[in-house]
Structure formats: structure tokens, C-alpha cells
Amino acid sequence: MAFHSYVLRSRKDGRFYYGSTSALSSRIIAHNCGRVRSTKGRRPWVVWFFEEFQTKREARQRESFYKSIDGYHWLKDKGIIP
């Protein structure tokens, strides 16, 4: 089983959301159907970037990294976020 950390971008306001999951496609559907409270008001979402990991722990750590200042700079340096 693969685990993913991901970056979504709102088509409504251009803001980003960072998350992790074991089922990326169904998780995106949940975000776009309004089943995720924190993203419900900024639908629709597109997958902007994702990475695959072998363990849930690695994916969660990467999600936390995205949310950190170092992760923000890494995402900017790679051109993933503007």
C-alpha cells in the first residue's frame, strides 16, 4: 500500500491545502464534495503536487514539513507554489 502527501490548490481563491492519505483519488473526491470541513468553503480543488511514500509515518512527516517554514521555502524554491 502506498501513502501520499499532497498539495491542493483552490480554484476559487488560489490558496493551498496540504494533506496526506492512503487513497489519494478518493480523498480528492471528499475534498471536492464538501466532506472535509477545513476545505469545504474553498471548493473546487485540484491536485497541485504529490509525493508517494512507503509508510503512513513518512507521508505524515512530509505533510508536516510542507506546513513548516522550511517546507514553505522548499516548495517555493522548487516552483511548486508561487
Could you tell me which residues come within 8 angstroms of residue 27 by beta carbon, excluding any fewer than 6 positions away? Answer: 6, 19, 21
What confidence score (pLDDT) does residue 29 get? 97
What confidence score (pLDDT) does residue 55 get? 98
Please say whether the beta carbons of 20 and 67 come within 8 A: no
What tens digit of pLDDT does each residue of 53-79 get? 999 999 999 999 999 999 999 999 999
Please say whether the beta carbons of 22 and 60 come within 8 A: no
What confidence score (pLDDT) does residue 43 get? 97
Q: How far, in Å, CA of 81 to CA of 53, rounded?
A: 21
What tens digit of pLDDT does each residue of 17-37 get? 999 999 999 999 999 999 999
**Average pLDDT score, the chain:** 97
